[in-house]
Structure 1
Amino acid sequence: MADQNTPAGEGGPPKGLPALKAHVIANKVDVALWGIRLLTVLCTIGYLLPIFNNPVSAFYKALLANAATSALRLHQRIPPREIALSREFLARFLLEDSAHYLFYSLIFMNVVPNILILTPIFLFALLHAASYSLTILDTLGQNSMWVARLLISLVEFQSRNILRAAALAEIVLFPLVVFMALFSYCGLMTPFVYYYFLTWRYTSRRNPYTRNTFRELRVAAERAASSPSAPAPLARTLRSAVSLVCRMAPPAEHVQ
């Protein structure tokens, strides 16, 4: 069995702490993203299990960590030299998923904490942190921390379900935000701003899960409304809800 600190040229690329140090130096932004995503996961857990910290503080720290992650990803996707004060740049900026979630953090910075708000950012942070953790473990050596590798494999195996759950949380959060605004748990403008966030997610080029989840919910609602056993008031309510959501959806030509 090759030693984990094998130098390059003697059984493959170097492994172990020296290799990890070199990897960190060569990939500072990616490693920073990994660390901040882990912080997002830990803060969300800290909000749910406030044993060692204040849950309200943990809630806002998770949002700040998500904002930092989104800003770094935007830095990677749009280099500073390409920034310009133009309509074209703004359109390109709003196409980026990272921009969507930067605004997401800003939207909820002044609301009463709620676990559903943290659900999408927790799921995205968990999925991406697990993926990069595998890179870190590979740098340390193939046999390092097999228990962690097993947990990472479980997360990656459920990646599709995790993305669908995040999309469902984005959608379900909208009526909750309306409810929160009516009862003064957030500002009256929050539902309107969140509506624009949802339209950006619906037209996302890189992540179709929000759009697909809307479609699945529509099919399920129409099937339930058409069921012979469905009470007439429930059927009318479901059809009205589907009609309202369809009218609020972005124009078809904006959807990739």
Structure 2
Amino acid sequence: MADKGPQAGDTGPPKGIPALKAHVAANKVDVALWGIRVLTVLFTIGYVMPIINNPVSAFYKALLANAAISALRLHQRIPAREISLSREFLTRFFLEDSAHYLFYSLIFMNVTPNLLILLPIFLFALLHAASYSLTILDTLGQNSMWVARLLISLVEFQSRNILRVAALAEILVFPLIVGMALFGYCGLVTPFVYYYFVTWRYTSRRNPYTRNMFRELRTAAEKQAARPALPAPIKSALLGGVQLVCRMAPPVEATPQ
């Protein structure tokens, strides 16, 4: 008896739980990243609304989850066989955005919890988790969980604004921890260490949002300083602050077109 050809109802690969299991088996690291990002979002919510967990515990769990995400991303970007104790490797290592945020988690493991510190990692986790959630839903079927798809679409539609807010939070954390150091809520060395994180984000090759946000803040400050009604002391303070930040900014290599 001859084999039957494709049935008229066949529209592609199988969907549902078997397809999801196959996807998980074939993409273990990506699925693990998705799960840890969901946990990061939940831990941050738990810090803001401590209904079940202790908020301090939730704060540090969110940082640890972010460190795990960063380590896994570094594993994807830099295979173990390429690791060495050379200057070239360290230069490549600190060019990776994942290395920046691994460093970020380590910086704040011994500071007093603050929501602004969690905001950048929460927003990145939310954005990337939403994106991969769509992949998982597509594996289950095109029409599965339309409410979740709608929420994911709203997050992705606001992706540019989410990245801009995350960049702004990275910048605002710096004056926050300066104040925290002065009042004993973190070590006196923490602001100096965090400065290196900000310089790495400023020179990031893959994410220009921090650099662009600095430009936007400079433009806004200079625009305010140009107002005739602004008192001279405030004008001098604004322009002095702009000049100080410009002197502290690292040089940026031109990105080849």
2:68 is paired with a residue of what secondary structure? helix
Q: TM-score, normalised by structure 1?
A: 0.95
Matches within 5 A, 1:92-107: 92-107=92-107
Aligned to 1:204: 204
* Structure 1 residue 255, shift from structure 2 partner: 6.0
1:83-128 Cα distance to aligned partner (Å, 9 max, x none) = 0110000000000000000000000000000000000000000000
Deviations 1:119-166 (A, max 9, x none): 000000000000000000000001100000000000000000000000
Asked whether 1:43 is paired with 2:43, we answer yes
Question: Partners of 2:91 and 2:36 in 1: how far apart?
Answer: 27
Quick one: distance in 2 between partners of 1:255 and 1:170? 23
Distance 1:251 1:133 in 2: 38
Is the CA contact (8 Å cut-off) linking 1:202 and 1:255 kept in structure 2?
Answer: no
1:178 aligns with: 178
Looking at structure 2, the residues matched to 226 and 255 of structure 1 have their Cα atoms a distance apart, in angstroms, of 30
The number of equivalent residue pairs is: 248
User: How is 1:126-205 mapped onto 2 (pairs within 5 angstroms)?
Assistant: 126-205=126-205
In the alignment, does 2:64 pair up with 1:70?
A: no
Deviations 1:221-256 (A, max 9, x none): 00100111211111111000000000100024x464
> Based on CA coordinates, which of the two structures has the bigger radius of gyration?
2
CA distance in 2, matches of 1:50, 1:26: 36
Answer with 224-233 or 143-152: which moved more. 224-233
Q: Which residue in 1 is equivalent to 2:34?
A: 34
User: Match of 1:21, as an amino acid?
Assistant: K
Where in structure 1 do 4 or more consecutive aligned residues deviate above 4 Å? none
Between the aligned partners of 1:29 and 1:251, the Cα distance in structure 2 is 35
> Within 1, Cα distance between the matches of 2:91 and 2:254?
14
In the alignment, structure 1 segments of 5+ residues that lack a partner are 1-6
Match for residue 89 of structure 2?
89
Q: Would you say the 8 A contact 1:24–1:31 is kept in 2?
A: yes
Structure 2 residues not aligned, in runs of 5+:
1-6
Per-residue Cα deviation, 1:174-218 (whole angstroms, up to 9, x for no partner): 000100011110011100000000000000000000000000000
Between the two proteins, what is the percent identity of the paired residues? 81
